[in-house]
């Protein structure tokens, strides 16, 4: 089943944006700056750091510009920001961003509730963002939500997703992230949706973004990896979810993903121990435990027991 397994996976970190926008409390900007800088030092080469949306929509990310202007951007680390419109793009450019992301849903009702526009109108509005962004030297990523199911409409037609992908690529985005917004995808469905999409679209233009609402995110990643997909979105510690999808929660935790990839012999360039330190940092400033299982297994009692065993094994 793993003949097409990629040798290397590009992990796209969404914690500072997708994660923190779903935290009820406001995180001080200084903490966010330290967090993003620490993430960049882990070997993560792609980090979505904020969103340039109205602070009335998402007060958690109102400090986007200050954050973007303050973080250290090591060579080879691509930082991006979500932009809903031309205004957001202008701020992103002014703040020195080299990459932005646009977003829409594969289902009309979810799109309408999320951005108050039809899908067709949203796609039209992308022309005001994607072209100017590229003209300014930025690259543009697109998120498609509710690819594997919609909280309002239920099943989503994969052919509609395919058509959307073609339109988005024609608009000029370099990569499309396929979102399981409410965590209802299953591995068989992932295989079948990706078989359809990759029959017409190059694999390296597609990324997957699974939610772990029902515990299936890594199972779905396994199916996506088997289909030859080599870009996976995740959120350190499992921070975040989607505020517009009731019942949804739980981004896939980056350390859970990276630990599995490394165990499978797949390179990521990420230092797992440093990544876990970032998770602890985030748990500390959001003030609650994060859902990552790898984090739990390597924290506290269990970690002490593991270290004890390692010592015994070394002595034996």
Active-site annotation, residues:
242
1 binds a copy of itself (CB under 8 A): yes
Q: CA-CA distance, 125 to 119, in Å (whole number)? A: 10
- Counting contacts by CB under 8 A, is residue 215 touching a copy of itself? yes
CA angle 225/14/182 to nearest 5° reads 70
Chain centre distance of CA 134: 22
Helix 108-115 / helix 119-135 crossing angle, nearest 10 deg: 60
From the CB of 271, what's the least distance to a copy of itself, in Å? Answer: 17
Residue 126 in the binding site for a copy of itself (CB under 8 A): no
Q: Which two tokens stand for residue 243?
A: 């505020």
**Residue nearer to a copy of itself on the CB measure, 99 or 255:** 255
Residue among 128 and 310 whose Cβ is closer to a copy of itself: 310
Tokens 């694999």 belong to 203
Please identify, using beta-carbon distances, which residue of 32 and 110 lies nearer to a copy of itself. 110
Contact between 312 and a copy of itself by CB under 8 A: the answer reads yes
Q: Which helix (H) or strand (E) holds 281?
A: helix 272-286
**By the 8 A CB rule, do 144 and 112 touch?**
no
CB of 220 to a copy of itself, least distance (A): 8
Minimum gap (Å) between residue 51 Cβ and a copy of itself? 23
CB contact set of 165 (below 8 Å; sequence gap of 6+):
144, 176, 197, 201, 206
Which of 84, 58, 71 shows the shortest CA–CA distance to 13?
71
Output 144 or 221, the one with its CB closest to a copy of itself: 221
Residue 2 as a binder of a copy of itself (CB under 8 A): the answer is yes
Q: Which of 7, 4, 2 is nearest to 267 (CA)?
A: 7
If the CB atoms of residues 98 and 296 are measured against a copy of itself, the closer one turns out to be: 296
Footprint (CB under 8 A) of a copy of itself, residues 217-246: 218-219, 221-223, 226-227, 246
Classify residue 62 by its DSSP letter: T
Question: Shortest Cβ distance from residue 238 to a copy of itself (Å)?
Answer: 9
* Binding-site ranges for a copy of itself (CB under 8 A): 1-2, 5, 151-154, 183-184, 186-189, 191, 212-216, 218-219, 221-223, 226-227, 246-247, 249-250, 253, 256, 259-260, 263-265, 292-294, 297, 302-303, 305-306, 308-309, 312-313, 316
């Amino acid at each position: 089943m793993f003949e097409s397994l990629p040798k290397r996976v590009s992990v796209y970190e969404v914690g500072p944006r997708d994660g923190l926008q779903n935290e009820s409390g406001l995180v001080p900007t200084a903490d966010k700056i330290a967090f993003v800088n620490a993430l960049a030092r882990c070997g993560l080469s792609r980090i979505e750091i904020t969103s340039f949306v109205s602070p009335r929509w998402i007060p958690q990310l109102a400090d986007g510009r200050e954050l973007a202007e303050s973080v250290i951007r090591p060579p080879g680390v691509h930082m991006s920001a979500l932009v809903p419109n031309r205004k957001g793009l202008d701020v992103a450019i002014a703040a020195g961003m080299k990459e932005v992301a646009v977003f829409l849903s594969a289902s009309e009702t979810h799109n309408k509730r999320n951005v108050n526009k039809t899908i067709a109108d949203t796609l039209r509005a992308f022309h005001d963002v994607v072209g100017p962004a590229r003209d300014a030297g930025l690259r543009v990523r697109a998120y498609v939500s509710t690819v594997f199911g919609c909280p309002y409409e239920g099943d989503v037609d994969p052919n509609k997703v395919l058509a959307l992908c073609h339109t988005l690529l024609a608009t000029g985005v370099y990569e499309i992230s396929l979102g399981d917004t409410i965590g209802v995808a299953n591995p068989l469905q992932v295989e079948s949706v990706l078989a359809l999409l990759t029959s017409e679209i190059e694999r390296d233009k597609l990324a997957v973004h699974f939610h772990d609402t029902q515990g299936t995110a890594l199972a779905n990643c396994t199916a996506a990896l088997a289909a030859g997909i080599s870009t996976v979105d995740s959120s350190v510690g499992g921070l975040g979810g989607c505020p517009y999808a009731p019942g949804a929660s739980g981004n896939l935790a980056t350390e859970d993903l990276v630990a599995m990839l490394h165990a499978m012999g797949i390179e990521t360039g990420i230092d797992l121990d440093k990544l876990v330190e970032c998770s602890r940092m985030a748990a500390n400033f959001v003030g609650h435990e994060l859902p990552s299982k790898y984090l739990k297994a390597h924290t506290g009692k269990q970690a002490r027991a593991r270290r004890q065993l390692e010592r015994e094994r070394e002595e034996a």
